[in-house]
Each structure stands twice: as C-alpha cells, then as structure tokens.
Amino acid sequence: AAGVIQSPRHLIKEKRETATLKCYPIPRHDTVYWYQQGPGQDPQFLISFYEKMQSDKGSIPDRFSAQQFSDYHSELNMSSLELGDSALYFCASSLLKEGQETQYFGPGTRLLVL
Amino acid sequence: AQSVSQHNHHVILSEAASLELGCNYSYGGTVNLFWYVQYPGQHLQLLLKYFSGDPLVKGIKGFEAEFIKSKFSFNLRKPSVQWSDTAEYFCAVTPPGNAGNMLTFGGGTRLMVKP
C-alpha cells in the first residue's frame, strides 16, 4: 500500500538559511500533520491542515510556515534556521471517516543545521 | 489539554519474557488511543489503536492493549518478546471527531530485548 512520502530525506543547512520540506499524503487522505522530533525526544506537534485549511496549531515557531496545496501535498517552510532546529521532521496523513482517524507517518526528513 | 505519561523510560528484557508497558492519559473527555513503534532510525509505525467498543485491542506483531477507562490507562502487552522488538514505543492520544487534531505523545519507552 502507498505510504506517506517525504522529501528530501536528509538536509544539511547553515544557520540563517531557509529550508522547505515536502510531504505527499497517502492517496485520498485529506489531512496532513507536521511533527518535530528532537534527539531522544518524542514527536512534538507543529501544525495540521484539513482540506487545505489550517486545522490545529502546536508549538510551531513564527519562523516556520506551512500550507496544503490543491493536490493535498504540504510544504513546511523554515526560515532563519537555528542550530536548535536540527531534528527529524515527520509528516503524517489521515482520512477522517465516521468520526475516526488514524495518522500514518512518513519516513521523516532529517534536518541538520550547522 | 490532554497529556500522556509512560511510566517506564527504559525496559530491558530477555527474549521470550512477557512485556507490559504502561500508559496513562489525562483528558476530560473521550479520547482515541494509539500505540506506535519506532525501530532504530526509522519512522513511527502504528501498532494498534482504540476508538470504541471492545477494550481489548489486538495489533500487529502479537501486540495487544487494554483500555481501562476507570484508570485512564491503555497498557501495551506482548506475551513473549523477540529480539526484533527492540525499539521505542510511544503511546498517543487524540480527541475524536474533528480532522486535524494533534496527537499527544507520551515520553516513549525504549525497549531492549537481549537475545
């Protein structure tokens, strides 16, 4: 079965640079989520989109922005990168059905900021 | 806001031992409950989930979990672990009903199974 696709899988940037992470949800899924997982930590929710509208917002820095496009893929834009932004960024997708939804995670983008 | 706690941060077992990982949540309403597993260097994979109905749910790879509403718990169990179960296990909750609700994760339990 098709899974969530994220690109790139690895990214190295320098401080103050920008980065764009992409997420392609499972076909027919209408909701995408972004999570950040620091070393040895559990995933922290950043933001989610349902039908191209922002649905829920977590601890996403103002330097980050995201959107969901008409084909349901999503992009996380990160500007003025800091060393502390080095982490694994997961995208998840889901389909709300009869009040139930399950989030399926992609392989993640490992971002290293030098 | 909901919160999740996992009691054991590290667990070491020998192969064939039984496993129980604790998970308690705090939320003033109905929740959907999940267990995810993260093998070293990999992404989160769904082990099992509970929405409603039978409180004992069975997942993949021989795992099961029991929802005890009165205790706000959703403990994960496996009768006999294998070396390949070495991974980090995350309990997570989300309120039901609306699309896009965030998952709140517990701190994770790192399981090491000795061959």
- Closest-CA distance of chain B to residue A18, Å: 24
pLDDT 10s digits, B76-88: 999 999 999 999 9
Angstroms from A50 CA to nearest CA on chain B: 6
Residue range A58-100, pLDDT digits in tens: 989 999 999 999 999 999 999 999 999 999 999 999 998 777 8
B48 contacts in A (CB within 8 Å)? Answer: none
How many CB pairs below 8 Å do chains A and B form together?
Answer: 65
Lowest mean pLDDT among A71-85, A94-108, B43-57: A94-108
Q: Which of B42, B45, B51 sits opposite A100 (nearest CB)?
A: B51
Average pLDDT taken over every residue of chain A: 94
Instruction: Give the per-residue pLDDT at B63.
Output: 97
DSSP result, chain B: --EEE-S-SEEEEETT--EEE--EEE-SS--EEEEEEE-TTS-EEEEEEE-SS-SEEE-GGG-EEEEEGGGTEEEEEESS--GGG-EEEEEEEE-SSSTTPPPEE---EEEEEE-
